[in-house]
Amino acid sequence: MPSDVFDDPTDTREKILAATYRSLNEHGYAGLTMQTIGDELEQSPSLVYHHYENKDALVLACLEYLLEQFESEFGNDAVDDPKGQLEEILEWWFATDVDDEWHGFLTTILELRARAVHDSEYREHFTRSDRIFKESLATVLRAGIDSGAFRECDPDAIAETLQTVFIGTVLRRSSTDDDEWLTDVHAELDSYLDSLVHARERSQ
């Protein structure tokens, strides 16, 4: 999810969520406090407490806001170039020349996913977000099948596979210093998609 979602907050709620997002990327979940959010907002923490009772309520609200923005953008955009869009998604996930903000975002997502192991509210959120992201991938695949860019395949099964690899990528990227494997995994996924998705295009 790009950070420009929070570039132009329109009200106090959005400003607080934007400050939470930035503070999460900088401090991680463990270092996040109402004080760090207030500092990022350049306001007293009491303003934050006025709207949210604790940091988990804030983090969950921030995650929900990001997901709502993704749903809105995805729902309004037609899939005009399914092959190009699928390639762009893979390039984003397996990019090696990433900045600190990008890496911080992925590390934060991993921290929050870990909380879902024992926290039902986080688990509920990530269950829903995984379903939405998986469906967005499946929609791109279906659009490619309908347009003739992709061969007949099972878009739901392929989307589930891609989603699972992406989540595994977050785990490994956030917990190791080595990223040389990214190129190999990206190439293997390309081969997987060539055999199941792009093969029809090659046969024409």
According to CATH, what is the number of the domain 78-204? 1.10.357.10
Least confident of 12-26, 134-148, 154-168: 12-26
Say if CB 170 and CB 102 are below 8 A apart.
no
d(CA 103, CA 158): 26
Q: Which pLDDT score is estimated for 109?
A: 87
Domain ranges of the chain: 1-65, 78-204
Report pLDDT digits (tens) over 58-97. 999 999 999 988 888 776 567 889 999 999 999 988 988 8
106: pLDDT strictly greater than 70: yes
Q: 110 or 78, which is more confident? A: 110
d(CA 158, CA 164): 10
What are 95's two structure tokens? 């990019």
Query: How sure is the predictor about 167, in pLDDT bands with cuts at 50, 70 and 90?
Result: very high
199: pLDDT strictly greater than 60: no
For 94-130, letters b (16+ CB in 10 Å) and e give: beeeeeeeeebbbbbbbbbbebeeeeeebeebbeebb
d(CA 181, CA 79): 30
Query: How sure is the predictor about 101, in pLDDT bands with cuts at 50, 70 and 90?
Result: confident
Predicted model pTM: 0.84
How many Cβ atoms are within 10 Å of 184's Cβ, its own excluded?
Answer: 10
Report pLDDT digits (tens) over 121-151. 999 999 999 999 999 999 999 999 999 999 9
Considering only CA atoms, which of 6, 10, 29 is closest in space to residue 19? 6
For the domain with range 1-65, which CATH number is right: 3.60.20.10, 1.10.10.60, 1.10.357.10, 3.40.50.720? 1.10.10.60
Q: Which pLDDT score is estimated for 105?
A: 79
